[in-house]
Chain A
Amino acid sequence: MVIEVDRDRCEGFGFCEQAAPSVFELDENGELHVLVSEVPSADEPAATTAIHLCPVAALHSN
């Protein structure tokens, strides 16, 4: 699973970081970083929840 962030949509709500802290991180400027190039299978359920929780549907996976 690879995460794609739509940078034009992301406004830094941070639900993804709460749901999957090992995959998503907001820095001190509220900028979102995806910490892994490929999500380890153990983290896939949390990453899927994170994608679902994004209020502006800025996260996708493939």
Chain B
Amino acid sequence: MTTLESEVDLFAPENVADPFAVLDRLRELGPAVHLAQHDFWLLTRYDDVRRAAADWKTFSSAQGVALTPQFNEQLAGSVLATDPPEHDQLRAVLSEKLAPRGLAAIRAQVREYATRLVDELVARGHFDGVTDLAAVYPVNVVADLVGLPQEGRELLHPGADASFAAFGPWGPYVQQHLQILQSYHGWMAAMADRSRLAPGSWGEVVMAAVDDGQLTERAAHSTLGAYMTAGMDTTVNAIGALLQLFAEQPVVWETLKTDPALAGPAFEEILRLESPVQGFWRLTTADTEIDGIRVPAGSRVMLHWAAANRDPRHYPEPGTFDIRRNPLDHLSFGHGVHGCAGQALARLEAKTLIETLLARVERFELSGEVLRRGNPIVRGLQSLPLTAHR
């Protein structure tokens, strides 16, 4: 059997800025490529990535889903870094709240908040699509649901961004954000004190599970941390990318104005095209084979959601935003046992925001330079100056 090797550094700044060209090349090189630079295997084809995500027995999360041992140690025992049955017990604590049936209770609350925020920004006319909207809206929705106090919320988005970066290599981005990472972890640890969590909040549900003996204190902290982090940067960046698209491709906004029912499909398509979380790692528990390529037991394997989402074997013209594609099977939320537990909330947030904007904005226009973040794991914008015309 063959082995495929590449010297490409997937996390070099130029490849983080534009990952898609290098991912296209690696996808065509073979189904599983060993990247010598950081010593891991890369899966890029839709069917392979999906199959590996579903096969948690061979592609285990129990040794962590980050690249480096240091960060995997921090993740140990959390809902992200366990396999069934332990994982299922952790996921069950909040799954009723996060599942679509649980979200019915918060629909009105999310809409009310979206309306308040959008009204204020539209009245202003000029605003930053990222720092004033995309990075504010999900942060406050999630923080309210978890029951966090107002004070310290400004740490949440930068902290989540730095946390995601830490899933990747120990590179300059992580090093530049170490201080934020520390403050964020310190603040979260302080928040696990239930007297600071709002009554009836999701945070309180998690802490109650500790009292019931369903969770250890440590598991409660790591699970809350995982949900807080996961609830930020993903939705923030997907919404940022959507707003950029609305400004740069006015025809998309016009289509939505005519047919608001396309709000859901528009969100799915931007998730497919941008894949805010580029990928996570697994560790193989046995020798395995990816379409003829042997991957030995004990290998770290990256399931590259972004590469899979642009695999032309699965999506024709994968680089094009097609509002009618409605790619509900994209892998931006992962797939299988670890499929994003908060995906229904993300969809609720995005759809509510798009509908709120549709009722108030005639068109968007870029009013300055668009800046991208250099985060190697989460793809998104730093700044998006916009004018919203009424």
Contact surface of A with B, Cβ cutoff 8 Å? 8-9, 11-15, 29-31, 52-53, 55-57
In the complex the two chains form, is A56's CB within 8 Å of B339's CB?
yes
User: What string of 1s and 0s marks CB contacts (under 8 Å) between B313-350 and chain A?
Assistant: 00000000000000011000101110111011000000
Asked if B154 is at the interface of the complex by the 8 Å CB criterion, the answer is: no
Main secondary structure of the interface of B (DSSP, over half): helix
Number of interface residues, chain B, beta carbon within 8 A:
19
By beta carbon, the residue of chain A nearest B53 is A57
Inter-chain contacts of B88 with A (CB < 8 A): 8
B100 within 8 A of partner (CB): yes
Does chain A have a CB within 8 A of B101? Answer: yes
Are A13 and B344 also in contact (CB < 8 A) when A57-B54, A57-B336 are? yes
Docked complex: B332-380 residues within 8 A CB-CB of A: 333, 335-337, 339-341, 343-344
CA distance A15 to B100 in the complex (A): 11
Q: Which residue of A lies closest to B333 (CB)?
A: A55
Besides the known contacts A8-B88, A53-B329, 11 further A-B residue pairs in the complex with CB atoms under 8 A apart? A9-B337, A11-B98, A11-B341, A12-B99, A12-B100, A12-B101, A14-B100, A30-B99, A30-B102, A53-B328, A57-B54
Q: Which residue of A has the minimal Cβ distance to B343?
A: A55
A55 to B337, alpha carbons, bound, how many Å? 9
B382 interface contact, C-beta 8 A:
no
Q: A residues within 8 A CB of B343?
A: 13, 55
- Distance from A21 Cβ to chain B, minimum over Cβ atoms (Å): 15
Minimum distance in angstroms from A27 CB to a CB of chain B: 10
Instruction: Please name the residue on chain B nearest to A30 by beta carbon.
Output: B101
Min CB gap A44→B, angstroms: 18
Chain A residues with Cβ below 8 Å from B339 are: 55-57
Complex alpha-carbon distance, A50 and B100, angstroms: 17
Query: Are B337 and A57 in contact (CB-based, < 8 A)?
Result: yes
**Is B95 at the interface (CB under 8 A from chain A)?**
yes
By beta carbon, the residue of chain A nearest B102 is A30
Chain B positions within 8 Å of A9 at CB level? 337
Residue of A whose beta carbon sits closest to that of B344: A13
> Which residue of the partner chain A has the closest CB to B99?
A11
Within 8 A of A (CB), among B78-95: 88, 95
Chain B residues, CB < 8 A from A15: 328
A8 cross-chain contacts in B, Cβ below 8 A: 88
**Chain B residue at minimum C-beta to C-beta distance from A29:** B101
List B contacts of A30 (CB < 8 A). Answer: 99-102
- 19 A-B residue pairs with Cβ-Cβ distance under 8 Å, sorted by A, are A8-B88, A9-B337, A11-B344, A12-B100, A13-B99, A13-B100, A13-B343, A30-B102, A53-B328, A55-B333, A55-B335, A55-B339, A55-B343, A56-B335, A56-B336, A56-B337, A56-B339, A57-B54, A57-B339
